[in-house]
Chains A and B, each alone.
Chain A
Amino acid sequence: MFELDSITLSRLLTAMTLIFHIIFATIGVGIPLLISLAELIGIKKKDPYYQLLARRWTRGFVITVAVGVVTGTAIGLQLSLLWPSFMRIAGNVISLPLFLETFAFFFEAIFLGVYLYTWDRFKKPIYHWLFSIPVIIGSGFSAVFITTVNAFMNTPTGFSMEDGKITAIDPIKAMLNPAAPTKVFHVLTSSYMTSAAILAAIAAFVILKNRGKASIYYKKALKLTVTVTFVFSILTAIAGDLSAKFLAEYQPEKLAAAEWHFDTSEGADLLLFGRLNADNEVEMALRLPKFLSFLAFGDFNAEVKGLNEYPKEEIPPLWIHYMFDMMVSLGMYAIGVTLLYMLFMKIKKWNEHNRLLLWLLILNGPFAMLAIEFGWVYAEVGRQPWILRGFMKVATAATTSPHVGKMLLLFLALYIVLAVLCLTVLRRLFKNNPADLELAERYPGLPKEEI
């Protein structure tokens, strides 16, 4: 593998760090909201189950935060270490949100520390709940700021360039570039959706393991998390739709590549899966007539720009079609399965804890995270060959250092160790301290049959 050039290796190493980091970043943004909701419901209804949910989720959450922090530091430094020429340009124009992201994270870190160590320190429990708000705000804004940086790579604005030198900079305009609003919306909603889906999967798993007889604790957990998943999966779909409309207008080649749309045409079809033959003709795809035009412009007859309008060397790899389709399919799956659960819950005669439904909900956790991964692969590979669309190609941005291959192996080892340890620690943490035992211990007043 050391025959690969440093550009490819730099891309691989960056991709690996991001694929690993995004798991923890997503959880880091989403879970505080669920913790806060659970604690609030628990306090308002004086319900020990929800209060315990908040406590236990927090305990697991800090472990993942730790991995998120260290991998976030890694990607922050790797940007300069692997893409020095990019950062020398981008550092000029887009450093404001990078800087602000650090502030947002700092804010979150401080209050997470306070939240974590003050559970029983206040007479009124609502004071403790208040400390969850800055954590949600801090982690949310971290995501907002860092997403604007990624958006900037897709639609760089707010500066003028003459002979490769930047002459004027408008930092705010660069931050609020055209890609930013839809991207931020999509990232936030999908983070909340995925975090809730993962917590729901865990609750469903425990209920399934206990053959539907699991405690009230897990059933309440499932109800809350599935409801949140449902709400945010709808919002994610809306955000996705807006993102497609943004692409059609500002970055048409990215949408066209995702849809294998070669010739500019009106009333364009939406393709699902399928494959390309040697002549770049689509085979075996499911065609939804005129739906691409609708997705792109909200009008079944609108004209959608095709890939043939672009020089060959500026077209992203066409396999991203599958990434796009997988992302959308898994998103739809989340809407479907959570809707089904809510239907079962509403209709009294039906049991929402039946095996099949629980299985579908268990799958929804990893599926949602996969959808995030597919979405990011689509977003990043769909921008190729550019690192700064229209200004700088990936190939000219990478480091010239000959040591990238070794660093790739070093980080691969690091991420494997972190993943294994993180999972082991989380498992041990909850296995050694089951919810029913903790309930009985913390709330001795609870009747036995309700544990």
Chain B
Amino acid sequence: MMSYQLIGITVLWVFLYGYLIVASIDFGAGFFAYYAKVTKKDHLINKLISRYLSPVWEVTNVFFVFFFVGLVGFFPQTAYYYGTTLLVPGSIAIVLLAIRGSFYAFENYGSRKSNFYMFLYGATGLLIPASLSTALTISEGGFIDMKNGNAELLTSKLLTSPYSWSVVFLAIVSVLFISSTFLTFYANRAGDRGALGLLRSYALFWSIPTIIASLTTFIALSRHNPRHYNNMLDLWWMFGLSVAFFMIAMFLIYRGEKYGIAFSAVMLQFFFAFFGYGKGHLPYLLDPYITIYKDATHSSMGTALIIAFIAGLCLLVPSLFLLMRMFLFDADYIKGKK
């Protein structure tokens, strides 16, 4: 029997993983849409991108809200430490998310197409993952100082740390890689050959920086937090599986077949890497201040949250399924016939 603390963090980690996938698709799509416009290839892919994004953009944001609301619920100490230290990067992330979400609606429902909106949509797609990844960097420890009982962020240390920058780099390239592999699959589904060709080339291109960034981050982590690094080495099989799925995905995309399986493999690649990273991180939520056992909420609240979570899932999974059937996997909708 798992403890409620462990169930709690697993649930939250699943949500963060969900956010990683759906938000990456969205963030990357924004960048590709803008990039295609600059390189005058927008006629090929932008219609396809907007058909996918329109019905789902709101849903993306909710995964993130779920994660941080749940985190504060299960582990209230995180509100104190992360809240105090992340005021500036957190606020910047909020502003970027706000610009992105509202401008998307303004442009999409507001009848006028503007290059400036497109630019912001593309730029925020890369800046948001960069700013959000700060939280993961800080969680490794070494960037917080306790002065007179108050937590303080060591900003200059954060900005000069090789680990911190390797995480930012990894976040950005992963976004582009996940997004391009999904859109390749989606274009194929829509039977849009022009879009497929372009997006497939993006997917192949971004695969290389993704694997390089993963390795650099691994190395940087070994210097920054040897405990976490060693835990991850003990979980070598998870990272092995991750690499294996990456190779399967690349093989299929290179051969130009079974894009659906290829994208599933990419999801599994990130699943194993993300959970390997997360499992190695435990029991710390913030090294060395917060652990999942010492700082969890009371068991009555933990149980209530888990029950609420299960009840919520019973409601949401069928609804999400409906949404996907209507928009994601309805061939006529994707092809623009509905």
Contact = CB atoms under 8 A, between A and B. Distances in A.
B94 A74 contact: yes
Majority secondary structure of chain A interface residues (helix, strand, loop or mixed): helix
Contacts of A118: 326
Given A87-B72, A92-B298, A428 B98 contact: no
B102 A67 contact: yes
B201 interface: no
A286 interface: no
Contacts of B40: none
Contact of A99 (B86, B98, B309, B327): B309
Nearest to A166: B298
Given A92-B301, A411-B95, A400 B61 contact: no
Given A77-B90, A105-B62, A91 B72 contact: yes
A410 B95 contact: yes
A399 to B, nearest CB: 6
A117 B297 contact: no
Contacts of B208: none
A418 B94 CA distance: 13
Contacts of B103: 421
A310 B241 CA distance: 66
A426 B110 CA distance: 7
B65 interface: yes
Contacts of A67: 102, 105
A208 to B, nearest CB: 25
Interface string A155-173: 0000000000010111110
A73 B94 contact: yes
B87 A401 contact: yes
A425 B91 contact: no
A360 interface: no
Interface string B172-216: 000000000000000000000000000000000000000000000
A207 B65 CA distance: 42
Contacts of A169: 297-298, 300-301
A81 B308 contact: no
Contact of B98 (A101, A105, A414, A433): A414
Interface in B297-335: 297-298, 300-301, 304-305, 308-309, 312, 315-316, 319-320, 322-323, 326-327
Contacts, number: 219
A69 B61 contact: yes
Given A73-B98, A418-B102, A110 B79 contact: no
Contacts of A79: 79
A207 B157 CA distance: 63
A96 B84 contact: no
A65 interface: yes
B80 A87 contact: yes
Contact of A92 (B76, B93, B312): B76
B338 interface: yes
A280 interface: no
A171 B84 contact: no
B117 to A, nearest CB: 9
Contacts of A400: 84, 150
A76 B102 contact: no
B69 A102 contact: yes
Contacts of B93: 77
A115 to B, nearest CB: 10
B106 interface: yes
Contact of A407 (B65, B70, B91): B91
B90 A425 contact: no
A403 B323 CA distance: 42
A171 B109 contact: no
A432 B308 contact: no
Given A59-B109, A85-B80, A118-B326, A103 B312 contact: yes
Interface string A122-149: 0000000000001000000000000000
Contacts of B297: 91-92, 95, 169
A93 interface: yes
A421 B312 contact: no
A421 B61 CA distance: 21
A95 to B, nearest CB: 3
B83 interface: yes
B284 interface: no
Interface string A69-88: 11111101111111111011
A428 to B, nearest CB: 6
A298 interface: no
A85 B78 CA distance: 10
Given A113-B55, A113-B59, A80 B72 contact: yes
Leading 3 A-B pairs by shortest Cβ distance: A95-B73, A91-B76, A66-B105
Given A95-B74, A171-B300, A401-B85, 16 more contacts: A67-B102, A73-B101, A82-B83, A88-B79, A90-B76, A91-B297, A92-B301, A95-B76, A96-B305, A107-B319, A110-B320, A117-B327, A169-B301, A403-B87, A407-B87, A429-B109
9 contacts: A63-B106, A66-B104, A70-B98, A73-B94, A80-B72, A88-B76, A96-B304, A117-B55, A118-B326
